[in-house]
Amino acid sequence: MAQLTVKADISQLDRVLSFADTILEEAGCKAKEQMQIDIAIEELFVNIANYAYPEGEGDALIEVEADSSARSVKIVFEDSGIPYNPLENEDPDISLSAEDRPIGGLGIFMVKKSMDEVSYEYKDGKNRLTVRKDF
């Protein structure tokens, strides 16, 4: 499993995406699935950057494990920010118009719909959100 630790700052997003994309390309991930994975990475990393450390700065650890024989990738996002399980939120009502829908929740909803598996745990003072996608 490859690991990258960066400041939980939006300015690091390109670095995180490049890190993951290199591994995905080496594993033979097709462009369609890679785009879905990149969208999930962006959503999850930006959420960490914007909300995990309201009192200051912190780091985010990203672990990527691609299995070319199983045609699958697992990505773990870890931070030591405030405990928060985004999977506990109710999914947004996408039948409502954008104007009638409350702000928030659409990004994690898209992640849940586009990934094959999404899980969360809070352990040893750290948030760990894991996504898995078959390609």
According to the model, what pLDDT value does residue 5 have?
Answer: 98
When pLDDT is averaged across residues 72-77 and rounded to a whole number, the result is 98
Output the CATH code of domain 2-134: 3.30.565.10
Helix 31-51 vs helix 13-26: crossing angle, to nearest 10: 150
Is pLDDT of 101 > 60? no
For residue 38, what pLDDT band results from cuts at 50, 70 and 90?
very high
The model's pTM: 0.89
Distance in angstroms (rounded) separating the CA atoms of residues 49 and 45: 6
According to the model, what pLDDT value does residue 128 have?
Answer: 98
Q: Kindly list the domain boundaries of the chain, sorted by start residue.
A: 2-134
What's the mean per-residue pLDDT of the chain? 92
When pLDDT is averaged across residues 95-104 and rounded to a whole number, the result is 60
**DSSP state, residue 73:** E
User: Is residue 95 exposed (0-12), middle (13-18) or buried (19+ Cβ within 10 Å)?
Assistant: exposed
